[in-house]
Amino acid sequence: AQSVSQHNHHVILSEAASLELGCNYSYGGTVNLFWYVQYPGQHLQLLLKYFSGDPLVKGIKGFEAEFIKSKFSFNLRKPSVQWSDTAEYFCAVIAKNSGTYKYIFGTGTRLKVLA
């Protein structure tokens, strides 16, 4: 079955530290990849997405992610985190399979940034 794995469930960092959140998926066909973020008390919102072209995509607030097809991975990175990056981060895969769409989210990673 298709799945999305986020191995880090909770991450605590100090401000200015670098961030990398892992995301691996299991699906053999063409996929489109997303990272969503949910700040405390706010709606889920898109950070960035990849569906074709340059496998290194840049999103809002200095985040970027790299699609490595051979590793089935789409890890999220930020060189220097800020206290305001404290949030829950979700990796998602959307794929088309036999005419229907599969929408699969990971379990999320809670990031806490210490001031």
Q: Which residues contact another protein (rule: CB under 8 A)?
A: 4, 6, 32, 34, 36, 43-46, 49, 51, 90, 92, 94-96, 100-108
Pair 63, 76: CB distance under 8 Å: yes
Q: How far is the CB of 92 from another protein (least distance, A)?
A: 8
SS3 string, the chain, reads CCEEECCCCEEEEECCCCEEECCEEECCCCEEEEEEEECCCCCEEEEEEECCCCCEEECHHHCEEEEEHHHCEEEEEECCCCHHHCEEEEEEEEEEECCEEEEEECCCEEEEEEC
**Looking at beta carbons only, is 7 or 14 nearer to another protein?**
7
Tell me the closest approach of the beta carbon of residue 25 to another protein, in angstroms. 12
* Nearest-approach distance from CB 60 to another protein, in angstroms: 12
> Least distance (Å) from another protein to the CB of residue 39?
12
Q: Which is nearer to another protein, 47 or 81 (CB)?
A: 47
Q: Indicate the residue among 17 and 102 with the shorter CB distance to another protein.
A: 102
* Residue number, 27 or 66, with CB nearest to another protein: 27
